[in-house]
Amino acid sequence: MSTNVSTRAGRAAVSLSALAAGDAFGARLLEPDGAQAVRGRVLPPGPWEWTDDTEMACSVYAVLYRCGRVDQDALVAGFAAHYDALRGYHRATDHLLRSVRAGGDWRALAPAQFGGAGSWGSGAAMRVAPLGAWFADDVAEAARQAALSARVTHTHPDGVAGAVAVAVAAAVAARGDPLGSHEFLDEVLDHVPSGTVREGVADARALLISADPCAVAAELGCGELIGARDTVPFALWTAAKHHDDFPGALWAAAAAGVRAGGDLDTTCAIVGGVVGTRLPGGRLPEEWRRRTEPLPEWVPV
Ligand SMILES: [Mg+2]
């Protein structure tokens, strides 16, 4: 694993491994002993297996590694080639990737989802943090590339905006500068198009006065609807609040997710992928790295 955080690929690889740790941690906490682990803040025994969030993020990273930008056809081909039905894909994405594998065209399939509305789910946001880290030297480009990466599966404006918000957050975090929580979300808001996700991030900014993730999640949602609108604002509140404390950020996300029953692996994947960009030396804490399932061998890290 490259940890040269001065390169685009190095920064993105760090974000990807941290996203996988968050995803796997969140998924592990959905097991029966998860609530007890959260109460005691004791990491549950490994191995922790990552889910669809990580599998798709690996394809995002691989396309950037090969092309230096989002090639939408290559991205969808990667999603379809590596799709594993046992990794917890949601039904719409499951259907889309199976259809692409059978020869379908994503340009027709993606906009047709949900009766022609397109998907407003959190699936484009959950996989995009490494892209933001890649383009940390050009935040506006991070926002543009994030939108391209989203639209191959999520064409509803909320689905796209969720990906833009997370990518910009990862880009800002990955610069590694000293960062105030309010300024962090201000920079995200500068790039997110208007709509319900942007309104949610603005609400998250106003709630930075709170220290209680459960109370904040009750206001913003924490993935109960598996939508970008009810997932991304809370995840970015958590990242902004704890941007230099990787374990603290993930425990905060977990506390709210376990209580509310939200989409815990996705919330933790987003938080991990964003906050992980600031880990000293790009290294995951050893007790997290040891428990997390390694990335697949086809990923060029
Ligand atoms: Mg998942």
Question: Ligand 1 center to residue 95 CA distance, Å?
Answer: 16
Q: Is residue 73 annotated as involved in ligand binding?
A: no
- The DSSP symbol for 86 reads G
Burial (CB count <10 Å: 0-12, 13-18, 19+), residue 297: exposed
Q: Are 224 and 230 in contact (CB under 8 A)?
A: yes
Going from the Cα of 104 to the center of ligand 1, the distance in angstroms, rounded, reads: 24
93 labelled as ligand-binding?
no
State the distance from the centre of ligand 1 to the C-alpha of 218, rounded, in angstroms.
21
Parse the chain into domains and list their residue ranges. 8-291
How far does the centroid of ligand 1 lie from the alpha carbon of residue 52, in Å? 5
265 is in an annotated binding site: yes
How many other CB atoms are there within 10 angstroms of residue 80's CB atom? Answer: 18
Distance of CA 246 to the CA centre of its chain: 14
- With a threshold of 0.95, does the pTM exceed it? yes
Can you say whether the dihedral through the CA atoms of 290, 211, 163, 223 is positive or negative?
Answer: positive
CA distance 206 to 291: 35
Helices (H), the chain: 8-28, 34-40, 52-67, 72-82, 91-101, 106-116, 123-126, 129-134, 139-151, 157-174, 181-189, 196-206, 213-220, 232-241, 246-260, 264-275, 286-291
CA of 258 to the centre of ligand 1 (A): 15
Task: Output the tens digit of pLDDT for each of the chain's 301 residues.
Answer: 445 778 999 999 999 999 999 999 999 999 999 999 999 999 999 999 999 999 999 999 999 999 999 999 999 999 999 999 999 999 999 999 999 999 999 999 999 999 999 999 999 999 999 999 999 999 999 999 999 999 999 999 999 999 999 999 999 999 999 999 999 999 999 999 999 999 999 999 999 999 999 999 999 999 888 899 999 999 999 999 999 999 999 999 999 988 877 789 999 999 999 999 999 999 999 999 999 999 999 999 8
Q: Which CATH architecture has domain 8-291?
A: Orthogonal Bundle (1.10)
Report the separation in Å between the CA atom of 88 and the middle of ligand 1, taken as the mean of its atom positions.
Answer: 6
User: Within a 10 A sphere around the Cβ of 254, how many other Cβ atoms?
Assistant: 26
Q: How far is the CA of 275 from the centre of ligand 1 (A)?
A: 18
Residue 213, token pair as written in the block: 């993730």
**37 Cα: distance to centroid of ligand 1 (angstroms):** 20
Residue 7, marked binder = no
- Contact criterion met (CB below 8 Å) for 114 and 155: no
Read off the amino acid at residue 234: F
Distance from residue 266's CA to the centre of ligand 1 (Å): 5
The CA distance from 268 to 266, in Å, is 5
Ligand 1: centre distance to CA 127 (Å): 10
Residue 53 in marked binding region: yes
